[in-house]
């Protein structure tokens, strides 16, 4: 299970237009996208967010404070138990997180070499993999990202589950994604 799967799954499950806009749309600060796919015992949650929502800047870290912010973010994403909480009845456990945030890993030198980076904006993709002992009970996920990332205002979520599809706009006051 990896990101490729979730992309193809969503691609076939939602309209072509939605899949295309996911890739091409310029991002808006304060908003993140979440794609949820369930296949057998596997739950995949992909979060695509402007880096500004998560660390407050969208370039390689330039000082110790920023480097620490990036380290903290990586730790939070790799231990997402307080960020993304599948309903307990489904007995899901987190397997791994695949993080794709090239700008955070680049040094100022490589940034210069790869001058094609958008100078103004950068995103991060985090793909969280869970394994659920009772996937039939998997009917909702509580999204607690708003507690951890104050810049994040809204999560536009899409779900592709065996029982159906759902799309929901989550916020501080409405944080449970159900289908
Ligand atoms: Zn931006």
Q: Which of 70-74, 113-117, 119-123 tops mean pLDDT?
A: 70-74
Characterise 51 by phi-psi region: left (phi > 0), alpha (psi -120 to 50), beta (else).
Answer: alpha
Report the separation in Å between the CA atom of 27 and the middle of ligand 1, taken as the mean of its atom positions: 6
Report the separation in Å between the CA atom of 166 and the middle of ligand 1, taken as the mean of its atom positions: 27
Report the separation in Å between the CA atom of 59 and the middle of ligand 1, taken as the mean of its atom positions: 10
pLDDT, position 137? 96
pLDDT, position 107? 57
DSSP letter at 82 equals G
pLDDT tier at 7 (50, 70, 90 boundaries)?
Answer: low
Report the separation in Å between the CA atom of 161 and the middle of ligand 1, taken as the mean of its atom positions: 30
**Mean pLDDT of the region 126-150:** 97
Report the separation in Å between the CA atom of 53 and the middle of ligand 1, taken as the mean of its atom positions: 9
Query: What are the backbone angles phi and psi of residue 149, rounded to the nearest 5°?
Result: -120, 90
Report the separation in Å between the CA atom of 79 and the middle of ligand 1, taken as the mean of its atom positions: 25
Half-sphere exposure of 44 (CA within 13 A, CB side): 22
Report the separation in Å between the CA atom of 84 and the middle of ligand 1, taken as the mean of its atom positions: 23
DSSP string computed for 19-76: HHHHHHSPP-TTEEEEEEEEETTEEEEEEEEEHHHHTS-SS---SHHHHHHHHHHHHH
Strand order in the sheet with 92-100: 92-100, 123-132, 42-50, 31-39, 154-161, 164-171
pLDDT, position 19? 40
Give per-residue burial for 130-156: e unless 16+ CB within 10 Å, then b.
bebeebeebbbbebebbeebebbbbbb
Report the separation in Å between the CA atom of 152 and the middle of ligand 1, taken as the mean of its atom positions: 12
Average pLDDT of the chain is 85
The tens digit of pLDDT for each residue in 28-52 reads 999 999 999 999 999 999 999 999 9
Report the separation in Å between the CA atom of 28 and the middle of ligand 1, taken as the mean of its atom positions: 7
pLDDT, position 4? 53
């Amino acid at each position: 299970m990896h990101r490729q799967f979730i992309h193809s799954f969503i691609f076939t499950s939602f309209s072509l237009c939605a899949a295309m806009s996911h890739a091409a749309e310029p991002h808006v600060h304060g908003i993140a996208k979440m794609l949820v796919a369930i296949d057998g015992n596997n739950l995949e949650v992909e979060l695509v967010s402007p880096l500004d929502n998560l660390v407050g800047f969208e370039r390689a870290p330039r000082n110790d404070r920023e480097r620490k912010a990036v380290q903290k973010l990586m730790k939070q994403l790799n231990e997402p138990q307080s960020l993304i909480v599948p309903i307990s009845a489904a007995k899901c456990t987190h397997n791994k997180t695949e993080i794709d945030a090239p700008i955070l890993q680049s040094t100022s030198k490589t940034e210069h070499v790869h001058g094609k980076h958008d100078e103004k904006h950068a995103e991060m993709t985090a793909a969280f993999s869970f394994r659920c002992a009772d996937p039939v009970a998997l009917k909702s996920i509580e999204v607690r990202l708003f507690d951890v990332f104050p810049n994040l205002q809204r999560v536009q979520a899409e779900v592709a589950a065996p029982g159906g599809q759902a799309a929901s706009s989550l916020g501080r006051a409405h944080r449970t994604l159900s289908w």
